[in-house]
Chains A and B, each alone.
Chain A
């Protein structure tokens, strides 16, 4: 395939069958390989869409500074686009994120402001909102509340999935900003009667949930519960186990959040088998494993990997 530039090559990622992980010939799993995007993650889609929308409405102009709270992938996508388009990018990133993510951000020219590990992404959002108030000239795209995030998936990821898998019965993805699930979920619900939209939410260590009080909890502005049909919480042990199975059985080297998504997809598959139903379950491989090698998730026993991930933002 030929494209005019890297940015133009966004999307149209492969959907691959998983013959060995699928529970049966009637209950099939399909992986959408979003690591095939320009910077290697699904976040290229919302990042570019948010930038283009801000350019179109005049919020972003030549030389603007973009500010964004991110645990990595969205920042990396924005950094690549910002470099090509001539914007300055400042990422607010929790300090308990992998070193690879920081190196990549710096390579693409982003500046990083660290937020405290305790509280995870909640703190990054809080710090970024504070900075945005202090610097009204900075443009915070704010992926947790920017409709362009979900729109990117409604307009591209959803239609690609339906084109490649018209028989789709279930869609499973990770829950972070909720943009993927909201966008793809809305699109598929409009086109496929009875389709199930399932969220896999990473369950981190205690450090991340250590709020001062419950009112500091956070639900992304984009989140609309009515788009989902179920939502599973997946801990690091199951996520690592499935990440390794995906590599072992199907050869796919994915990031740890994909293991969490696969865990939920396999649970759905088992239920379909038990009910004697056929199913075509598509899920998102959000990124490859490269950025997480230093977390220690890919070596040693599951117990060791689980211990090493304690306190880290692994998804």
Chain B
């Protein structure tokens, strides 16, 4: 099972500069563990004390996982995952 993961500029130091990486896992948590095995250090930038970090947003097929099942959100083949820092919106 392969999921495409978009990595923001700020975290590309962990992916050798790659914008998009592939990973696998039945849940977001498993996916992050899988990514960590190839991109050491990434997990700590996303998760703190078992929770998503305050200024990190992760979207599965464009939906914020905080409104799905958080780190337990299930993934299917060909889902797309986007990681973005939380920023101020237009106003």
Contact = CB atoms under 8 A, between A and B. Distances in A.
A178 B87 CA distance: 12
- Give the interface residue-count category, chain A: 35 or more
A218 B67 contact: no
A214 B53 contact: yes
Contacts of B71: none
B10 A125 contact: no
A209 B85 contact: yes
A212 B62 CA distance: 24
Contact of A74 (B9, B45, B55, B91): B91
Interface string B60-91: 00111011000000000000001011111111
A176 B10 CA distance: 22
A176 B87 CA distance: 9
Contact of B64 (A72, A120, A231, A314): A231
Interface stretch (A5-13, A29-37, A198-206): A198-206
A313 interface: yes
A194 interface: no
Majority secondary structure, B binding face: mixed
A211 B57 CA distance: 14
Interface residues of B, number: 25
A210 to B, nearest CB: 5
B56 interface: yes
B64 to A, nearest CB: 4
A231 B67 contact: yes
A232 B88 contact: no
Given A218-B55, A231-B63, A213 B10 contact: yes
Contacts of B63: 230-233
Given A120-B88, A219-B86, A233-B84, A214 B66 contact: no
A174 B11 CA distance: 27
B91 A217 contact: no
Contacts of B82: 203, 233
A228 B90 CA distance: 19
A177 B67 CA distance: 19
A39 interface: no
Contacts of B9: 206, 209-210
Contact of B54 (A143, A144, A219): A219
A172 interface: no
Nearest to A149: B91
Interface in A163-179: 174-178
A170 to B, nearest CB: 14
Closest 3 A-B residue pairs measured CB to CB?
A: A217-B55, A176-B89, A121-B88
29 contacts: A71-B90, A71-B91, A73-B91, A120-B87, A121-B88, A122-B88, A125-B88, A144-B91, A174-B89, A176-B91, A177-B91, A202-B89, A203-B84, A209-B87, A214-B10, A214-B55, A214-B56, A217-B85, A217-B86, A218-B88, A219-B54, A219-B55, A230-B67, A231-B66, A232-B63, A233-B59, A233-B84, A314-B90, A315-B89
